[in-house]
Amino acid sequence: MITDEADPRMAAAAVRLQARLKRLCVGRPIDRTLIYDIQRLLYDYRVGMLQDGLDWPHLVPIVVPRLGVIHVARADLDLVSIRRQVIQLVRFNPDVTPDEVAHAVRWAWDIKPGALVDEGEHVRERDQAKAIAAAV
């Protein structure tokens, strides 16, 4: 099983997947049917790659229909990595609304967007001080 992402066969597989996604998406409205078709394509592609001996990761689509944005990311990302994906989405698409980001995150990883909030240490300390003051 090939697991090295730098392997030329993995790079070639990524190019083939991108071509298939383009063929699937070009000229179609971005709706639930297309999103399900993308999810199915990603699943079928992964199964085919595993059968060919490539350890292809499980991928999920990040979709913003109003802007025509379809991005693909790994499904097994931790919260920090998902935050990075969201930041990249917003950087490359500055017109995206917070509601659209929330829907895209929920569709892709099935998590609540509030789980992505990274409260700084000062916020946690302030909240803890308020809780202690309220208890007294």
Structure tokens at 58: 């499980």
* Average pLDDT score over residue span 125-129: 83
What per-residue confidence (pLDDT) applies to 73? 94
pLDDT at 35 over 70: yes
Q: Give just the sign of the alpha carbon dihedral 81, 83, 84, 85.
A: positive
What average pLDDT does the structure give for the chain? 88
Structure tokens at 38: 């993308």
For the stretch 39-51, pLDDT in tens is 999 999 999 999 9
CA distance 25 to 5: 25
For residues 10 and 22, is the Cβ–Cβ distance under 8 A? no
Q: Is the pLDDT of residue 59 over 80?
A: yes
Other beta carbons within 10 Å of 126: 12
Dihedral Cα 36, 9, 50, 108, nearest 10 deg: -30
Looking at residue 34, its pLDDT comes to 93
The domain segmentation of the chain, as residue ranges, is: 1-57, 78-136
Q: What is the pLDDT of residue 94?
A: 93
Residue 108 has pLDDT above 70, yes or no: yes
Could you tell me the pLDDT band of residue 122, with boundaries at 50, 70 and 90? low
Q: Considering only CA atoms, which of 136, 72, 69, 135 is closest in space to residue 108?
A: 72
pTM of the model: 0.75
Residue 128 has pLDDT above 60, yes or no: yes
Q: How far apart are CA 34 and CA 133, in angstroms?
A: 52
Beta bridge partners of residue 35, listed in sequence order: none
Number of H helices, E strands in the chain: 5, 2
